[in-house]
């Protein structure tokens, strides 16, 4: 079964034919909200809103372990993560859809592993390619069929938040090789890998990163909101195509 983790602007899948909602607990605590099961494009899936259904949980307080454990326990084998980002690379303007292929993790202090050594074992998973190849392909193919332009490949910088970055921090991330910046991509991706789930991300660029583009003098949350609403309509459409394949 496919799981979708919805980020800002995607607290529900309006086109999801909901069959049931389930409140679950995990050994890691409570996930961000109930799991929503339903059908989309003829396929059964499970959805969770990363920040809660009322968008009340900030990125650094999301219980990523509980969310991933809950989805796995519900029978999900694949996870598509939808998340908004700031665009660092000049061509990644607001409105762009991006399927990233690499990650740099700048987050700190988050519970970032299931392998805490409690079972007396030390495990190091391979994370050379953080996103699942086949699931990325499916996303790209669904975008093509939906007629939505998507950028294939980008380096995602995961920051701690909840504040936005300084211009100098964005300059440093660009020197590091980052193309987009967001606050939730890690540890979600690595936990999915540890849990044995195929994971890919669909990023929606909602603003120029700090010090870039017209946002050079500050980032307006109102502009981000407007962009989110519009872009998430396209994301829903794309996801529906993906479920039809
Ligand atoms: N920075 C970090 N996270 C984000 C941004 C940003 O500019 N836009 C959306 N999520």
The arithmetic mean of pLDDT across residues 132-157, rounded, is 97
Q: Could you tell me if 237 and 17 are in contact, meaning their C-beta atoms sit under 8 angstroms apart?
A: no
Confidence of residue 216 (pLDDT cuts 50, 70, 90): low
Measured in Å, residue 5 CA sits from the centre of ligand 1 at 17
Q: Which domains does the chain have, with CATH numbers?
A: 2-243 (3.40.50.1580)
pTM of the prediction?
0.95
How much helix, strand and coil, in percent to the nearest 5, is found in the chain?
Answer: 30, 25, 45
Residue 169 has pLDDT above 70, yes or no: yes
What's the pLDDT tens digit per position in 11-40? 888 788 899 999 999 999 999 999 999 999
Reported residue count of the chain is 245
Ligand 1 binding pocket, CB closer than 6 Å: 84-86, 159, 164-165, 181-183, 206-207, 209
Confidence of residue 213 (pLDDT cuts 50, 70, 90): confident
What's the pLDDT tens digit per position in 65-97? 999 999 999 999 999 999 999 999 999 999 999
Q: Could you tell me if 143 and 96 are in contact, meaning their C-beta atoms sit under 8 angstroms apart?
A: no
Q: Whose CA is nearest to atom 5 of ligand 1?
A: 86
Predicted local confidence at residue 148, as pLDDT: 96
3-class secondary structure, 177: coil
Confidence of residue 117 (pLDDT cuts 50, 70, 90): confident
What is the C-alpha to C-alpha distance for residues 211 and 195, in angstroms, rounded to an integer? 37
**CA terminus-to-terminus distance, the chain:** 14
């Amino acid at each position: 079964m496919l799981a979708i983790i919805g980020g800002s602007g995607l607290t529900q899948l309006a086109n999801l034919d909901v069959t049931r909602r389930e409140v679950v607990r995990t050994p890691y605590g409570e996930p961000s909200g109930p799991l929503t099961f339903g059908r989309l494009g003829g396929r059964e899936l499970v959805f969770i809103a990363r920040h809660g259904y009322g968008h009340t949980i900030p990125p650094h307080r999301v219980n990523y372990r509980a969310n991933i454990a809950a989805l796995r326990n519900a029978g999900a084998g694949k996870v598509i993560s939808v998340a908004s980002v700031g665009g660092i690379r000049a061509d990644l303007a607001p409105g762009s859809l991006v399927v990233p292929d690499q990650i740099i993790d700048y987050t700190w202090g988050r519970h970032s592993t299931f392998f805490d050594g409690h079972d007396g074992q030390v495990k190091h998973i391979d994370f050379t390619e953080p996103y699942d190849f086949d699931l990325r392909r499916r996303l790209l193919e669904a975008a093509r069929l939906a007629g939505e332009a998507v950028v294939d490949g980008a380096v995602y910088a995961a920051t701690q938040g909840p504040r936005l970055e300084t211009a100098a921090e964005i300059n440093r991330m660009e020197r590091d090789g980052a193309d987009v910046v967001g606050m939730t991509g890690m540890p979600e991706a690595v936990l999915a890998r540890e849990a044995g789930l195929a994971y890919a991300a669909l990023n929606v660029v909602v603003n120029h990163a700090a010090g870039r583009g017209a946002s050079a003098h500050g980032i307006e949350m109102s502009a981000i909101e407007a962009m989110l609403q519009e872009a998430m309509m396209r994301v829903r459409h794309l996801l529906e195509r993906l479920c039809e394949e």
